[in-house]
Amino acid sequence: MTGSKPLRKQESRERDEMIAEISAVVGVLKALNDGIKTVKESGDHLHGLTGLFSSLTESKTAVESIEEATKAGDHVLTQEEALELAWAKDAIRQHEKELKKITPKHVWRDMLMIQNKSLLDHKHKLEKARLARLKKQRQIGDVAKNIGATIAVLAIFAGSYYLLGM
């Protein structure tokens, strides 16, 4: 019985952390909404937009990390967390639509192209690192096999020398 209490405390702490993270995303999205209204009213496009895109990107990243944690089985969302996450995802979509409306089309298109290129470059870098790791593991395995084969040949040679020498 006493072993289950620390587990419950840990689950409770993880749930509280997840709720706090989702609440932080919702807070950022509310601030983002106010920022969009300000940019619309002031007409100060480029200076105001960069901060808004940063906030939106941070929110998307936080939501993605929560989704990855749940997909990996690190956390099981409660109904409350799932609802907040769904609201946050919807708010992100709505904010993206608003930002798209107030951003010049050519700037939006260029931004998406730059972002996609960056993402592809990052994935390519991760894939190269993964392949390099696999190559190194394969090389280590080959060296281990060669050492094992050499030891086996030496053992056979020493055994036959010992048997034939006597």
Structural domains in the chain? 4-103 (1.20.58)
**pLDDT given at position 40:** 59
**pLDDT given at position 7:** 56
Q: Which residues of the chain have pLDDT under 70?
A: 1-12, 32-49, 166
- DSSP of 126-152: HHHHHHHHHHHHHHHHHHHHHHHHHHH
- Helix 4-42 and helix 45-71: axis angle, to 10°? 160
Question: What pLDDT, in 10s, does the model give residues 67-95?
Answer: 888 888 887 888 888 888 898 889 889 88
Helix (H) or strand (E) holding 104: none
Q: How far apart are CA 5 and CA 16, in angstroms?
A: 16
Listed in sequence order, the residues at least 6 apart from 31 whose beta carbon sits closer than 8 Å to its beta carbon are 55
